[in-house]
Structure 1
Amino acid sequence: MEQPGDRHAAPEPLRLVQDLVNTVDLEAEADELHSPEALTAWVRERGIDPGGDGFDRAGLDAVLVLREALRDVCSAHAGLDMAPDVVAALDGLLARAPLRLAVDPRGAARVVPAASAGGVAALTAEVAAVIAASAAAGTWQRVKACAADNCRWVYYDRSPAGRGRWCSMAVCGSRAKMRAYRGRR
């Protein structure tokens, strides 16, 4: 499937969330995080400590829960409700994310990951810090999941009104409009 280009890339640091959620292509059934070793490499590439020998199967499973919960949050940004069990799972992961408040020399404060043992906690802390900073900047709500059920690719909505629904109007948007047209006929 043609994936959105840079036009839909989230600004830094939101790119971490977008990249994590988009490690799976639902339509092609291709998953970058197919093993603990693949996850360990993915996390290291982003400068995050995978901890010790890296991720094990339980760590991979936890990160996959995080990834899909974040996808559901991005769908909520587009107007869909999140299931209570997804909210609870995400809250549980975020509750274990070690964070601290850092103050710079000018007195500005921001949430940053605290020193941790690595692994799921380190990745979740990085994600939580990104979300906190982006929410404060007003950009978090623009990270959305495509409304197409077979896609759900996460993109950054740069439309003026912030009401985009599809990752690509040329692909997913056209398919949805064609289905609607055929349904009316």
Structure 2
Amino acid sequence: MNARTPAPGGLALVQDLVNTLDVESGVDSLDTDAGRSAFGLAPGDVAAARELRESLRAACLAHAGHPPHRPVRDLTALLAAGPLVVRVEDGTGVASLAPADASALTARVAAAIAEGVADGAWQRLKACEATDCLWAYYDRSPGGRGRWCDMGVCGSRAKMRAYRARKSAPKRGG
């Protein structure tokens, strides 16, 4: 559904995780072996991954100026379970935050968000405002005001609904 390019750097992991659920069809790729293995998850890790996914989706909705789609756990509390360490490259002295446990999804997500905050990309990872979509997309629009994952699908549907509502509304004054 998403015709836009992937998020930069580690935020692609966050985007991919949020997009494991197709809200419109109800298909959740975390229900499959391939979907779980893409994130290094065992079947017992799926409930926690879904909780993280929906809290991330709520953050992406907030980036686009929308309320959460449903009540979710506090993202800060969830990310606290994924400790980070500061890594300094020998010879260059370049420092970065990295997951303390590279196999832990929560820690990898926390590191990706930290990277996105540092380079200013985190706020541009948004969720589509269409309630039957909620797909995560990276807003590359110049003003950072994108509203839909795909203007040709969700944007067109929203504009058509608004047009029909205007046309069917009773005319004032005349």
In the superposition, the TM-score normalised over structure 1's length comes to 0.82
Q: Tell me the residue number matched to 1:25.
A: 22
Query: Over residues 77-127 of structure 1, what are the superposed CA-to-partner deviations in whole Å (9 max), with x where a residue is unaligned?
Result: 001244895352x222211112111112322221100137x4xxx100000
Q: Give the aligned residue type for 1:13.
A: G
Q: Contact conserved, 1:4 with 1:167, CA < 8 A, in 2? A: yes
Shift, 1:28, TM fit: 1.7
**What is the aligned counterpart of 1:9 among 6, 9, 24?**
6
**What is the aligned counterpart of 1:123 among 70, 91, 105?**
105
Q: Tell me the residue number matched to 1:95.
A: 80
Q: What secondary structure, in the 3-state scheme, does the structure 2 residue paired with 1:70 have?
A: helix
Q: Contact conserved, 2:85 with 2:100, CA < 8 A, in 1? A: yes
Shift, 1:165, TM fit: 0.1
Give the alignment of 1:169-184 within 5 angstroms: 169-184=151-166
Q: Give the aligned residue type for 2:125.
A: V
Give the alignment of 1:68-147 within 5 angstroms: 68-82=54-68, 86=72, 88=74, 90-104=75-89, 105-115=91-101, 118=103, 122-147=104-129
Shift, 1:156, TM fit: 0.7
Segments of structure 1 that go 5 or more residues without pairing to the other structure are: 45-49
Q: Give the aligned residue type for 1:129.
A: A
Cα distance change, pair 40–176 in 1 and its aligned pair in 2 (3 A):
closer
- Identity value in percent: 52
For the residues of structure 1 that align with 2:117 and 2:63, how far apart are their CA atoms? 12
For the residues of structure 2 that align with 1:22 and 1:84, how far apart are their CA atoms? 16
Shift, 1:177, TM fit: 0.7
Moved more, 74-83 or 10-19: 74-83
Moved more, 132-141 or 99-108: 99-108
For the residues of structure 2 that align with 1:10 and 1:178, how far apart are their CA atoms? 28
Shift, 1:72, TM fit: 0.8
RMSD: 2.0
Q: Tell me the residue number matched to 1:47.
A: none
Could you list the structure 1 runs, at least 4 aligned residues long, displaced by more than 4 angstroms after superposition.
Answer: 82-85
Shift, 1:183, TM fit: 1.2
Cα distance change, pair 40–173 in 1 and its aligned pair in 2 (3 A):
closer
Q: What secondary structure, in the 3-state scheme, does the structure 2 residue paired with 1:144 have?
A: strand
Shift, 1:10, TM fit: 1.0
For the residues of structure 2 that align with 1:84 and 1:32, how far apart are their CA atoms? 20
In the superposition, the TM-score normalised over structure 2's length comes to 0.86
Q: Contact conserved, 1:8 with 1:167, CA < 8 A, in 2? A: no
